[in-house]
Amino acid sequence: MMFLSGLVLSLLLFAGASVEELKDDVTGVSTREAIARGEAAKALQIMEARAFRAEKNADWVETSNAHREASYAARMSGQLQKAVSYGDKALQAAEKTKHPGLQSQAILQLTLSYRFVGDRGKAREWIKRGIEITKQIQFAGVGTPWRPCFFENWARTCCASESRKRLLSTCPDPGRF
């Protein structure tokens, strides 16, 4: 009972987290909450600082996560070139870790950024690369939770410019999700 009341209390406190508390959040939930409150610019500043600090300490996982969240905050605040730049930095840091899950997340953010910029060609290139990287991941023996996200983005990226038949014929190796 004590554990349950502690959990409820911490959830209530976290739900009202201020932008300053983004500094300690590793899940990205606080970034999304800050954006929902109209504080995307502050969230972006905090993520930039986190990324800088993590990069200085050669903590590539944290660097990648912070740049990925900065990319998201930039995209949501309409700073699309910054979104691409931070997505690229997230991928560079993720590649240093050699962790395909982290690389997939960074590529997914980069893909979304290119799609929002309107560069569908670049978005397609990154989607293909993301699909290839997800093949290296085993998540509970069934693959990766990110792979379907890449196929969704493939459809969203291609639908505006291609017919359904062409879309299906160009989809890179759907295989098993």
Q: What digits encode the pLDDT tens for the residues 75-134?
A: 999 999 999 999 999 999 999 999 888 898 899 899 989 988 989 889 888 888 888 888
Give pLDDT, residue 167: 53
Q: Which residues of 105-135 are buried (b: 16+ CB within 10 A; e: fewer)?
A: bbbbbbbbbbbbeebbebbbebbbbbbebbe
- Residue 49 in this model has a pLDDT that exceeds 70: yes
| CATH superfamily, domain at 26-170 | Tetratricopeptide repeat domain (1.25.40.10)
Task: Name which residue leads in pLDDT, 21 or 56.
Answer: 56
Give pLDDT, residue 81: 95
CB 67 within 8 A of CB 86: yes
Q: What digits encode the pLDDT tens for the residues 142-159?
A: 556 666 666 666 666 666
Lookup: tokens for 39: 């504080």
Task: Name which residue leads in pLDDT, 167 or 88.
Answer: 88
Least reliable range by pLDDT among 10-19, 22-31, 86-95, 119-128: 10-19
Query: Domain coordinates of the chain in residue numbers?
Result: 26-170
- Residue 22 in this model has a pLDDT that exceeds 60: no
Place of tokens 């944290």: 62
What is the C-alpha separation between 34 and 147, in angstroms, rounded? Answer: 27
What is the C-alpha separation between 54 and 62, in angstroms, rounded? Answer: 6
pTM for the structure as a whole: 0.72
CB 116 within 8 A of CB 86: no
Give pLDDT, residue 136: 79
Percent of the chain with pLDDT over 70: 62
Give pLDDT, residue 24: 54
Lookup: tokens for 16: 């009202």
Give pLDDT, residue 63: 95
Burial class of 101 by CB neighbour count within 10 A (0 to 12, 13 to 18, 19+): middle
